[in-house]
Amino acid sequence: MPKKPLILVTNDDGITAPGIRTLIEVMNTIGDVVVVAPDSPQSGMGHAITINSTLHIEKVTIGNGNQLEYSSSGTPADCVKLGVKQILDRRPDLCVSGINHGSNSSINVIYSGTMSAAIEAGIEGIPAIGFSLCDYNWNANFDHCKAYIKTIAENVLKHGLDSGTVLNVNFPKLDTTELKGIKVCRQAKANWEEVFDQRKSPNGKDYYWLTGKFVNLDKGEDTDEWALANGYVSVVPVQFDLTAHHSIQELNTWDFNEK
């Protein structure tokens, strides 16, 4: 019997979140699962890493299943580093992150702890996928995601991914019967229009909450936003070579010696 794939599972909502519980359940049907995930929610952490503080790991048992689980004080990116370099005795065949409670489509990929974990694994040369559901509800229904997650993970294990590339998968908030399938997309050129909610503390000092409205002016039917709005599961290949190669030629025409 062929050896089962070794799968590292993490997330940014914390190790007890319903989203990661669903992801573990699906991964247990595919391979040997080791979970290394934050001990508390880390949403909006981007690709933060812990360099000025200590890191802690604790072996834990949460829920059923054959998975081994470790809870860590670190960020999602820290969890992947700890899993690969400290906890596992061989390289994982796959790293999956999520299922995030909330969308990581379009520009959200930049702020996402879920995706930073997948990108960290990609940097280590491990095929990796981040999964997110466009529903911020803690008690969201993840059932319609399960079969798709299995299919996408099995495809990545079978085909591999281009070096320097990981997958950003988002699910619309829908029942299974309404989902139209998988669509490979590009990241929509959408962004947040922030508004700061200004308040006064009991001692009279101003403070602020970051709020905002998501605005998508990119109407392309090849975007993740279009796919999600039209009932598809969006799959965006994401790279961490951030070089804007198309700008190099233009920059070389600048005269850096002019005064």
Facing residues of 100 across strands? 132
Q: Which of residues 97-136 bind a copy of itself (CB under 8 A)?
A: 107, 109-111, 116, 119, 123-124
Of the two residues 64 and 238, which places its CB atom closer to a copy of itself in the complex? 238
The three-state secondary structure class of 148 is helix
**Piece in contact with a copy of itself (CB under 8 A), picked from 73-81, 91-99, 138-146, 170-178:** 73-81
Q: Tell me how far apart the alpha carbons of residues 228 and 173 are, in angstroms, rounded to a whole number.
A: 9
165 sits near a copy of itself (criterion: CB under 8 A):
yes
235 sits near a copy of itself (criterion: CB under 8 A):
yes
The three-state secondary structure class of 75 is coil
**Piece in contact with a copy of itself (CB under 8 A), picked from 27-35, 62-70, 170-178, 188-196:** 188-196
At 120, list the tokens: 């960290």
**Piece in contact with a copy of itself (CB under 8 A), picked from 22-30, 62-70, 128-136, 178-186:** 178-186
Of the two residues 139 and 209, which places its CB atom closer to a copy of itself in the complex? 209
161 sits near a copy of itself (criterion: CB under 8 A):
yes
Q: What angle do CA 206, 211, 171 make, to 5 degrees?
A: 155
Place of tokens 């280590």: 124
On whether the CB atoms of residues 189 and 218 are closer than 8 A, the answer is: yes
Work out how close the CB of 111 gets to a copy of itself at its nearest, in angstroms, rounded to a whole number: 6
Facing residues of 214 across strands? 192
Has 39 been labeled as part of a binding site?
Answer: no
At 36, list the tokens: 């290394």
Binding mask of the shown chain, residues 13 to 32, with x at each position contacting a copy of itself by CB under 8 A: --------------------
Cα 152 from chain centroid?
A: 14
Binding-site residues for a divalent metal cation, in ranges, read 12-13, 43, 100
